[in-house]
Amino acid sequence: MNYSQTDGKRVQAALLIIGDEILSGQTHDKNLPHIAENLNNVGVQLAEVRVVPDIKKEIIDAVNALRRRFDYLFTTGGIGPTHDDITAEAVSEAVGRELIQNQEARRLLEEHFKYNGTEINEARLSMANTPKGAELIRNPISTAPGFRVENVYVMAGVPKIMQAMLDNIIPTLQGGAQKLSRSVLCNLGEGSIAQGLKDIQDKHPDIDIGSYPHYARANYRLSLVIRGFDDKKLQDVQEAIHRMICDLGGDPIRGEELDNQ
């Protein structure tokens, strides 16, 4: 899974989700977890996400804030043929490049429409518009491509199409270290383990320990998730947490033991 991975380097990305339908609650975003996991597999950590409406100025401001701050910016949504699809235009303005009809994209679309017997019209061809100098991101599902310009990757919002595009992007990324995680589960209250957990966290400042209570149906469960870049350290912290919970009379189980049950 380690494409172009440079040991030790931290590489961070942001995700910009574009669409009124997410903000209204009508559509539930399913792309965030998929993108987060696939990026981390090649050593890129998702460090911020924003959701903005289909308003050009909002998209431009968010693109500029995020592309400057992170190594990579990924966007989803707003690249279809209808009037509410304004991502290509907004990203062009954000990066200060002219919006042009990309000839390679036009050729791909025309071939696809001819093959399917679909009428070629202005709206459909608008899906060939990209900022000048952009590289296409192909997708075998609907053919209409996404694009990369500088460090901004523009993808579709429909999950299957987004996933196909991301599959094509992943091998091209220059990742750093992959963030690893280990966990310990128990049924003690957060308040009972908080002091011991803090002591362990304080001893390991380069490891992040998160505490997540779950109340699935009537079953309470506490997940302690240990994240970092060095598995040897994660293992040490996992053992320290395991011991601490035993000492408190809890009944800890390591995440990997649960996976094997």
Q: Residues in the site for a copy of itself, rule: CB under 8 A?
A: 17, 19-29, 32-37, 40, 45-54, 58, 80-85, 118-119, 121-124, 126, 158, 160, 179, 181, 189-195, 197-198, 201-202, 208-215, 225, 227
Take residue 142 and report the two structure tokens written for it.
Answer: 């609907």
Cβ of residue 172: shortest distance to a copy of itself, in angstroms?
20
Q: Are strands 72-76 and 152-155 parallel, antiparallel or unpaired?
A: parallel
Take residue 197 and report the two structure tokens written for it.
Answer: 């957990």
Contacts with 35 (C-beta within 8 Å, 6 or more apart), sequence order: 15, 46, 74, 76, 162, 166
If the CB atoms of residues 134 and 241 are measured against a copy of itself, the closer one turns out to be: 241
Contacts with 172 (C-beta within 8 Å, 6 or more apart), sequence order: none
Cβ of residue 95: shortest distance to a copy of itself, in angstroms?
21
Cβ of residue 173: shortest distance to a copy of itself, in angstroms?
16
Half-sphere exposure of 201 (CA within 13 A, CB side): 14
Q: 150's torsion region: left (phi>0), alpha (psi -120 to 50) or beta?
A: left
Contacts with 141 (C-beta within 8 Å, 6 or more apart), sequence order: 160, 161, 164
Cβ of residue 130: shortest distance to a copy of itself, in angstroms?
17
If the CB atoms of residues 119 and 206 are measured against a copy of itself, the closer one turns out to be: 119
Quickly tell me which residue has 């399917």 as its tokens: 116
Cβ of residue 48: shortest distance to a copy of itself, in angstroms?
6
| Spatial contact of 201 and 209, defined as CB atoms under 8 Å apart | yes
Cβ of residue 199: shortest distance to a copy of itself, in angstroms?
9
If the CB atoms of residues 140 and 213 are measured against a copy of itself, the closer one turns out to be: 213
If the CB atoms of residues 35 and 152 are measured against a copy of itself, the closer one turns out to be: 35
If the CB atoms of residues 97 and 201 are measured against a copy of itself, the closer one turns out to be: 201
If the CB atoms of residues 97 and 242 are measured against a copy of itself, the closer one turns out to be: 242
If the CB atoms of residues 29 and 149 are measured against a copy of itself, the closer one turns out to be: 29
| Spatial contact of 94 and 67, defined as CB atoms under 8 Å apart | yes
Contacts with 164 (C-beta within 8 Å, 6 or more apart), sequence order: 139, 140, 141
Tell whether the torsion through CA atoms of 11, 78, 57 and 22 is positive or negative: negative
Cβ of residue 133: shortest distance to a copy of itself, in angstroms?
26
